[in-house]
Structure 1
Amino acid sequence: MLLSKRAEMLLPEHWPAYFSRTSGATVWDMDGNPFTDMFLMGVGTNTLGYSHREVDAAVLKVVQDGNLSTFNAPEEVWLAERLIAMHPFADMARFCRTGGEANAVAVRIARAASGRDKVAFCGYHGWHDWYLAANLAQGEMLAGHLLPGLEPNGVPKELAGSVRPFPYNDIAAFDEAVSDPEVGVIFMEVSRNAGPNPGYLEHIRDMATRKGIVLIFDECTSGFRETFGGLYLKYGVEPDMAVFGKTIGNGYAITAILGRRAVMEAAQTTFISSTFWTERIGPAAALATLDVMQRERSWERITATGNAIRDRWTQLAAEVGITLDHWGLPALCGFTIRSPHAQAYKTLITQEMLGKGWLAGNSIYCSLAHDETTVNRYFTDLAEVWAKVAKCESDGTDPATLLDGPVAHSGFRRLN
């Protein structure tokens, strides 16, 4: 049900797709085999580590007291107050359970507020019709943002031309996208694979203000990884709305849409409602997660861990004789081996590390559970695997011949 977890995206025919339990940085498969996760960590949802005792205790209390009733859960009010206090631009909040639906809600509110239907966007923002409509206009407009060749089957053809993609850090392309007078929404990630060029975010903010366009920052992935809140705080450029997810519930389903009052009140002029948005587990988990984050200063620790891992990747690559390209936020860092066989090498690393008891690829979502001992063990085993990669590079061996199955499929390809 999630593309990022499909076995063919990781290690076709050999990935242990299902788990029985988790703890810290460890995942046990259905046969009870433990694997240390130096990879996806729940696709970026568990920055405190798996099965964190304080967060789980808050959830267990909800289970005991009741999760959903005819009344609303007060935790949603407390969470709204907490998040708004952290983000000076915001006055109001709404909550969902998944990133894709939260982004769809944000687009609906922003369109209602601006009175215009078209969306200029950069990056990946989910699976809903508003986003995939980009592939209706010219066939491959999403190729750089999502997956090359992605078919928008099931998306109404009437939505063709309703969205305008633009590449990250390309001011000319952005200006072209918002030159359409029907564009009322700008939807983008603050940063993903590379930071903004000087003046880039400022230019976007200025254009949005001058044209009366609602600027939305999608922080479902970037939020709480470098700052205690949105990544936009690092750059000092405020949006009109921001969407948060993944990190704020430490594995429990909760997403938040924050916004200026003038924008958010437009939600009252349309219909946005769902029964399970009022369940209690999500906001209770988020409140507990925020408490732990603040106490542990998790954003600083996972950023330091990511920077240390990136430095050691660079050092190890120099030692064994391979060349890397680095990308991503420090707490969500990755590398690509500079070779025509890059995807085969990624698959080989996953295969060989799995045999040593690791979930590993060419990226990592850092967590508090990735302590120094774990990282040291990881690099001890990774050195042996990268030595095989270096040998392939030096003697011309096709790494695909060392695989026990097919090369993994390519994952999300993003322009930012």
Structure 2
Amino acid sequence: MSELKMKINSGIDLWKKAKQLIPGGNQLLSKRTEMFLPDAWPSYYEKAKGVEVWDLDGNKYYDMSIMGIGSCVLGYANDAVDKAVKKAIDRGSMSTLNCYEEVELAQKLIELHPWGEMVRFARTGGEANAIAIRIARAYSKKDKIAFCGYHGWHDWYLSSNLADESSLDEQLLPGLKSVGVPRNLKNTSLPFNYGKFDELSQIFQDNPGQIGVIIMEVEKSKKIDVEFLKAVRQLADQNGAVLIFDEISSGFRINIGGMHLIYGIIPDIVVLGKALGNGFPISAVVGKSDVMQAAQNTFISSTYWTERIGFVAALETIKQFQESKVIEHIVAMGEYIREGLRNIFSNISHLILSNELVISISYYIPDFFIHSIPSN
């Protein structure tokens, strides 16, 4: 326990101050101290490099989680990506004119996704999903959405809890309130669970001719269900619904591009982000031209979607994926860690849950251990 006390640092005091100045303390729920160990979590970093992170007091940690919420597959402060970004900054990150790297990245993403024909860009995953939803609704001319998984914080998504406060319990987490979301969006976003085709089919039966969009993650906590995805694709075709694969978390993880490419199940739109820029903000909406052209019939526009840094970071990140055997290394390390955990926990009551993307451990913690952890 003495070692644990040594790790308690000034980040705790700064977090308390942050909660007085910033609603919730920060900008991302997944990084809030209360999600981890409130009385000991360092909360803030001074430096991050590779898999190493230093807190405000110089304590060094090895990041064994998901590397910046899944954004840094190449490691923190990757030399090649950072060098390209610094060069871009020196040449000017913004102008009244467009940066040419935008076109280069669009071309590269289409090369990686041969079924895709057009691309729109944003800087975060949530807004990219909102763009995809807007385009899909514009194309289908239908308001209602069937969804599975986590797709951001925007009104279209959170409105699911207007009809049933528990709608997002299994999709994201319990207790999310829909306060601030217009009540006339009630019953426009309808959830179904991964692998439960009967639930999705029932949504279409209950809303005949009204579902214009299906948006889902290709894989969630369980292993990918290829037959389920094929059935979803067929149902979308039969009903004239736009199929969107949200690959913000799964893209550039076990292959170069969207995970759907491995299994040959083609959506109408795929949304990419997180690992695409290795720590620099960039997201992309890749789609078939007839669907994507619907963006011209609505208004989707933002100044900072045109800045240069995100495009340059993504281009260099993709280059590193293609030239440095990144995927092979990631897969090998994942299997190494998984087997190591199995050996470590072999004599402890536990459950290791894993798929291609996530490893999680569920285990029993005796009361005596919990009570022995100091609170200050």
TM-score, normalization by structure 1: 0.81
User: In structure 2, what is the equivalent of residue 321 of structure 1?
Assistant: 348
TM-aligned CA deviation for residue 328 of structure 1? 3.9
TM-aligned CA deviation for residue 146 of structure 1? 1.6
8 A contact 2:352–2:359 mirrored in 1: no
The aligned runs of 1:157-196 (5 Å cut-off) are 157-179=183-205, 180=207, 181-196=209-224
CA distance in 1 between counterparts of 2:299 and 2:201 reads: 32
1:255 counterpart = 2:276 = no
CA distance in 2 between counterparts of 1:404 and 1:81 reads: 55
CA distance in 2 between counterparts of 1:5 and 1:229 reads: 26
TM-aligned CA deviation for residue 13 of structure 1? 2.3
1:24 counterpart = 2:50 = yes
CA distance in 1 between counterparts of 2:199 and 2:329 reads: 36
8 A contact 1:253–1:282 mirrored in 2: yes
8 A contact 1:193–1:329 mirrored in 2: no
Distance 1:168 1:217, change over 3 A: same
The aligned runs of 1:8-157 (5 Å cut-off) are 8-157=34-183
CA distance in 1 between counterparts of 2:88 and 2:118 reads: 25
CA distance in 2 between counterparts of 1:198 and 1:91 reads: 24
Q: Where has structure 1 moved over 3 Å in runs of 4 or more?
A: none
TM-aligned CA deviation for residue 119 of structure 1? 0.5
Q: Give 2:356's aligned amino acid.
A: L
Three-state SS of the structure 1 residue aligned to 2:41 is coil
Count of aligned residue pairs for this structure pair = 348
1:213 counterpart = 2:241 = yes
TM-aligned CA deviation for residue 403 of structure 1? 2.7
8 A contact 1:192–1:329 mirrored in 2: no
User: In structure 1, what is the equivalent of residue 12 of structure 2?
Assistant: none
CA distance in 2 between counterparts of 1:399 and 1:155 reads: 43
Distance 1:70 1:5, change over 3 A: same
8 A contact 2:226–2:263 mirrored in 1: no
CA distance in 2 between counterparts of 1:182 and 1:301 reads: 45
Q: Which runs of 5+ in 1 are unaligned?
A: 340-344, 346-391, 407-416
CA distance in 1 between counterparts of 2:51 and 2:68 reads: 10
Q: Give 1:267's aligned amino acid.
A: A
Q: Give 2:107's aligned amino acid.
A: E
Three-state SS of the structure 1 residue aligned to 2:152 is coil
Three-state SS of the structure 2 residue aligned to 1:178 is helix
C-alpha root-mean-square deviation of aligned residues, in Å? Answer: 1.4
TM-aligned CA deviation for residue 398 of structure 1? 4.4
1:225 counterpart = 2:253 = yes
8 A contact 1:186–1:215 mirrored in 2: yes
TM-score, normalization by structure 2: 0.90
Q: Which runs of 5+ in 2 are unaligned?
A: 1-26
1:402 counterpart = 2:375 = no
User: In structure 1, what is the equivalent of residue 17 of structure 2?
Assistant: none
Distance 1:271 1:198, change over 3 A: closer
The aligned runs of 1:211-290 (5 Å cut-off) are 211-290=239-318
